[in-house]
Amino acid sequence: MSRFTAPIAEQIWDMKYRFKKADGAPIDLSVEDSWRRIARDLAAVEVQPQLWEDRFYAALEDFKFLPAGRITAGAGTARQVTLFNCFVMGTIPDSMGGIFEMLKEAALTMQQGGGIGYDFSTIRPRGADVKGVAADASGPLSFMDVWDAMCRTIMSAGSRRGAMMATMRCDHPDIEDFIAAKADAARLRMFNLSVLVTDDFMAAVKNDGSWDLQFDGKVYHTIRARDLWNRMMRATYDYAEPGVIFIDRINAANNLNYCETISATNPCGEQPLPPYGACLLGSINLARLVADPFAENAHLDGDALAELVGTAVRMMDNVVDTSKFPLPEQRAEAQAKRRIGLGVTGLADALLMVGLRYGSDQAARQTEDWLRAIARAAYLTSVQLAQEKGAFPLFDATGYLASGTMQQMDEDVREAVREHGIRNALLTSIAPTGTISLYAGNVSSGIEPVFAYSYKRKVLQKDGSHTEEEVVDYAVQMWRDLKGDAPLPDYFVNAQTLTPAEHVKMQAAAQKWVDSSISKTINCPEDIGFDAFKDVYMQAWDSGCKGCTTYRPNDVTGSVLSVSDDASAAPEVVTSEESSPQTPHSDVIYMSEPLDRPQALEGSTYKLKWPDSEHAIYVTINDTVINGHRRPFEVFINSKNMEHFAWTVALTRMISAVFRRGGDVSFVVEELKAVFDPRGGAWVKGKYIPSILAAIGGVIEQHLISIGFLAGEGMALKADPQAKVIGLETGRGAACPSCGQYSMRMIEGCMTCGDCGHSSCS
């Protein structure tokens, strides 16, 4: 019999985690082969490898312990990929040479599949003096644009694009521009943005005090703290970014605050890391550990939990020694501190199985108890590993035990650490688990509530047709198996029916026993008032959270699939051609036949001079008029430089073919502007352009603005008289870029597809 409890689980395994040859032929013939591959590889560093291989296999069996996707896909494959999920790059120097050295390191890291975080607070603000060149600095956001273009170009391992987090201190002079950056829907799309909020700033907000924006000891502006806070909140209310990271709280709690300072996180925010810090992730599947589910004596098996946590910690510690690293600095940092991030998934399902309503006081207390048990087991296991293999090299008992996290730890754990040391500096984290949760049978993701108890999923068949299958939450399917058609109890709630305060309550309860941080989305209703929305962040601050990420459906961020409270009535995606062309996030239907070329067209020719190139490039764009509106019809790109001949001809034909199909062709500009030349770009008219192709994209963009096709630089299509639009009667967000289905929703701070598991953060 198959170990998979749902068709989607097997499909995820086959697509994401199954070891295959280059031609697609499977090497892992079953999921048991995958488990054995991982267990054997991670046990290879043990003195008794066969003993531990069997124990590791038992932990993996039936999806009880879920290593993060990079471990599951990469362990035992001998491929040149990192098993670490996330990195924070080195401190960015405030110099041109240093900045581009960091860019190169980032590209090397992304090639091996790592998500990356950066602190851009170290770059001088826009307009500051640049000594020696009689110029003004362009500011950190201009360099973030360069990083963004690079990230679009570099394809990471497993055909994934890299994910990035950018942070900036709340006292940086360019913080207001940073906060407003996502107002341009086409800018910094490869970044998540978060503001590093200090304790002093929060005090100033509460006391309605002033706030200095400064860099390198110089005060550039003084503003009202509440005004900056309101700007931050308004941007998040409108665009879902930036997030908020309470950075002083993170550093105070950090077990390693005696030897490191944190100023950035990984892309989803659950791993605050120092320069060159790296972390690997894994999750305990709580839904698999509930004994007698839905019965009066339903409970989580505490002994099984402690044993599983112990095995998982040992497995993850071994990853530090078996993994490859993109940079030697990352390897040195990982081995000096041996940081791991053990978390949970299936929390909401486990709460349902023991009869608790997610968001209730009882559920929060139970969550805190379970996370405390995990923390105790993890720390005690790491102490045992220190006795067996040695403490992490930078361990200092006095500094370690003085940290905020360790001061609240149980005294017997503190005493064990004091006497024997500890193998891993930090051990717990709540990471995004969208894909591995589907792989485990569609258990609820991380510590999030259940999003939908069931929904319809379209599956593409080999003959090109589509079939539909029902995707059912793990706990709901178990209820059906045990109770038949009995109605779901009242305590079955989902993400849409919970209040923001209930989300915050659950995050705060989990955070007490998590030494890193938590990736969680606090869902807010679309009609929540701005003052009530701001209060969510104050609740997160007041309740001890280390950060806060919200999601409010709106015209900019997109809506979410409507779901029914009744699990038997799965929501169905319905299309309609009667929707208005202004429907947010709608998809344009392109013309099946290209437009015929008129005898004469009106157009313009632009001269593009690329630095260090002997010959200029000429770009001619001709337009057609449809229903009184000008739109691009064809493009010609010419140069006397024969080195450019082949690609300019190819580009001419491809872009012209796209233009002649009609519809929203603004993506051509976006894609060209994102092309990054690894040999380096050039400064043109005071602006950094990452490649010649990006420069051509800029020329086309300016032409489309001049004819009224685009509203402005970086803006999407203003109006297209030829476009027909499909939409959801119930409202929806954007299509998944991987499978095309309209199942994208915000989970754990990432837009994630419920059909194929694609995540914008990995």
Burial of 599 from C-beta contacts in 10 A (0-12 / 13-18 / 19+): exposed
Domain boundary among the residues 206, 227, 253 is at: 253
The most confident of 78-92, 209-223, 628-642, 647-661, by mean pLDDT: 209-223
Check pLDDT > 70 for residue 752.
Answer: yes
**Rounded CA separation 81/645 (Å):** 37
In a domain, 681, yes or no: yes
Mean residue pLDDT of the chain comes to 86
pLDDT value of position 514: 97
Domain for residue 348, yes or no? no
pLDDT for res 517: 95
- Asked if residue 629 belongs to a domain, the reply is yes
Q: Provide the domain count of the chain.
A: 2
Segment 121-136 shows an average pLDDT of: 83
Marked catalytic residue, from 268, 545, 548, 761: 268
Domain span holding position 719: 575-728
Dihedral pair phi/psi, residue 721, rounded to 5°: -65, -15
pLDDT of 469? 82
**Per residue in 170-195, pLDDT tens?**
999 999 999 999 988 778 888 999 99
The mean pLDDT value for 157-169 works out to 71
Model confidence band, residue 641 (pLDDT cutoffs 50, 70, 90): confident
Lowest mean pLDDT among 193-202, 346-355, 606-615, 673-682: 673-682
pLDDT surpasses 50 at 737: yes
Task: Give yes or no: 230 in active site.
Answer: no
Tokens of 192: 């998540």
Look at residue 410 and tell me if it is in a domain: no
In terms of residues, how long is the chain? 762
What's the one-letter identity of residue 546? K
Helices (H), 17-95: 31-43, 49-60, 69-74
Q: Could you give the percent of the chain with pLDDT greater than 90?
A: 59
End-to-end CA distance of the chain: 32
- Predicted local distance difference test score (pLDDT) of residue 639: 82
In a domain, 468, yes or no: no
Does residue 713 form part of some domain? yes
Position 341 scores a pLDDT of 96
Residue 662 within any structural domain of the chain: yes
d(CA 722, CA 577): 13
pLDDT confidence of residue 588? 34
Greater pLDDT, 229 or 674? 229
Name the more confident of 452 and 445: 445
Given 253, 284, 315, the domain boundary residue is 253
Residues 489-509, mean pLDDT to the nearest whole number: 93
Residues 28-52 have pLDDT tens digits of 999 999 999 999 999 999 999 999 9
**pLDDT of res. 136:** 81
Spatial separation of the C-alpha atoms in residues 276 and 617, rounded to whole Å: 41
Give catalytic status of residue 736 as yes or no: no
Name the helix (H) or strand (E) containing 342.
strand 340-345
Which pLDDT value is given to residue 627?
Answer: 66
- Give me the phi and psi of 633, to 5 degrees please: -120, -40
Name the residue with higher pLDDT: 104 or 156: 104
Question: Would you state the pLDDT for residue 465?
Answer: 62
Decide if 721 contacts 709 (C-beta within 8 A). no
Residue 538 and residue 205: Cα distance in Å, rounded?
Answer: 10
Q: What percent of the chain has pLDDT over 70?
A: 85
Structure confidence by residue, pLDDT tens digits, 287-303:
999 999 999 999 999 99
| Average pLDDT value for residue range 727-732 | 35
pLDDT band at 756; cut points 50, 70, 90: low
Q: Is residue 658 part of a domain?
A: yes
Catalytic residue chosen out of the listed positions 85, 255, 257, 266: 266
Backbone Cα Rg of the chain? 27
Angle at the Cα of 744 from the Cα atoms of 738 and 747, rounded to 5 degrees: 115
Active-site residue among 105, 241, 270, 748?
270
Q: Quote the CA–CA distance of 710 and 168 in Å, as a whole number.
A: 31
The pTM for the full model equals 0.79
Mean pLDDT calculated for residue range 387-415: 97
Known catalytic residue: 266? yes
Query: Pick from 195, 225, 253: which residue ends a domain?
Result: 253
